[in-house]
Amino acid sequence: MSAKNIEIKYTNLFINNEFVDAVSKKTFPVINPATEKIITNVAEADKADVDIAVAAAKAAFARKSEWRKLDASARGRLLDKLADLMERDAEELAKLEALESGKILGYCLFCVQHCVKVLRYYAGYADKIHGNTIPADGGNFALTRKEPIGVVGQIIPWNVLLIMITWKLAPALAAGCTVVVKPAEQTPLTALAVAALIKEAGFPKGVVNVLPGYGPTAGAAVALHNDIRKVAFTGSTEVGQKILAYAGQSNLKNVSLELGGKSPLVIFDDADVDEAVEMAHMATFTCQGQTCCAGSRIFVQAGIYDEFVRKATARARQIKIGDPLEYGVDQGPQIDQPSFDKILRLIGTGKAQGAKLQTGGDRFGTQGYFVQPTIFSDVTDDMTIAKEEIFGPVQSIFKFNTLEEAIERANKTEYGLAAGVITKNIYNALEFSQAVEAGSVWVNCYMAITTQLPFGGYKRSGIGREMGEDGLQGYLETKTIVMAVKK
């Protein structure tokens, strides 16, 4: 399947339900990571465009606006309509995301299906948001109301843009907020295609605005804007710290952050080795290793360590690398040159610091940002590849002996996004899942992420939760109302 079959329909900013040029008329190139060639040029938003978009979102949130006067159930129907449209255009959206992100087409189709489920889940929640009556002291009548927080800024990463934009938009819109979205500069085309569907679904003007641009300009303007009441960000821990600082420098806006990870997957020697190899393979190599919750530290108990390393290496060598738009390909390119360079640099440190290279370890081919699936064994906790987030197709395998050792070493990281354990021993499973410092713990499974389950991190992996009811609460304020009752 050739990129020539993909029609690029939208390249302008989306503000107030219209596609418009940037105020500056500037554009920037979108690069195909499989070929390193320009796909097209897209309008580049900066502070002036953010100001216009925020004004549109603020007007759409005004007390007597069309959006605010909608029944809650009507908001739900709009989300359901958007889900219908994404389902209708699933192949087109998947091809577009595969083209600009380098993710394989099959995975992108899965992402669209997941997005549809998220939209339908929060569509059902829209008319079920309510407060409580409270038997307060003093004989007064007291109640709480749940109200939308207001204009929200959402800064979306490139690795799974469709999923991330839906995780953020769906609860915000179900709650009744209005939104300014800044997609990653590497993947704006898919975000703009979603914007067109939002308009087609019938959302009122200004409810959703999409501004492609760069982090230091458009992203910073969103995070610093005094009329934005909340910023939701997914990305690196370093940028997340800047977002938090910007919130403090401006209006103390609410912030939710889903950041980096260095997630452990612990495999005990009572596990089925073949099943464990397959699970660890998926945990590491899904999306070219470009997932925040990737199982990037594989701890294997000594009794099965050598067998696991041998079989994991053989499994990695089966990966088919190539054009992400071709069915049957298992791994596409990394997202861009800086990511490609970082991964190869970290692989170099693994070699230099004494980890044993089992397979891979270099670029693949001569064109595109392709990296060979790489496995290191004999990795120790002090090595750079054991501590830094690689965000690439690199599996690091560690040896451990006891449960207590596994817990201590799993927690020996500044991150705490996810963790996994594979064992037939219920004591080991329960003890590890309670002791490990991570927002999600998967027992005998990995990346078991569904719409109903909250997702987020401990420590430097973030603040707040997305998905499930917890994800909705982040877009709501609680108002307490007390009425004096006189006889």
Q: Which long-range contacts (CB under 8 A, 24 or more apart) does 346-349 make?
A: 346/384, 346/385, 346/388, 346/390, 346/392, 346/394, 347/371, 347/374, 347/385, 347/394, 349/383, 349/384, 349/385
**Active site residue: 44, 185, 258, 389, which one?**
258
pLDDT band at 1 (very low <50, low <70, confident <90, very high): very low
Q: Would you say 12 and 43 are in contact if contact means Cβ atoms under 8 Å apart?
A: yes
> Please, what are the domains in the chain?
3-259+461-480 (3.40.605.10), 264-450 (3.40.309.10)
pLDDT tier at 485, thresholds 50, 70, 90: confident
The 10s digit of each residue's pLDDT in 325-380 is 998 999 999 999 999 999 999 999 999 999 999 999 999 999 999 999 999 999 99
Active site residue 258: yes
- DSSP string for 413-459: SSEESEEEEE-S-HHHHHHHHHHS--SEEEES-S----TTS-B--EE
Residue 103, pLDDT above cutoff 60: yes
Q: Quick one: pLDDT band at residue 246, thresholds 50, 70, 90?
A: very high
Q: Model's pTM, two decimal places?
A: 0.95
Nearest C-alpha neighbor of 334 from the set 372, 371, 365, 364? 371
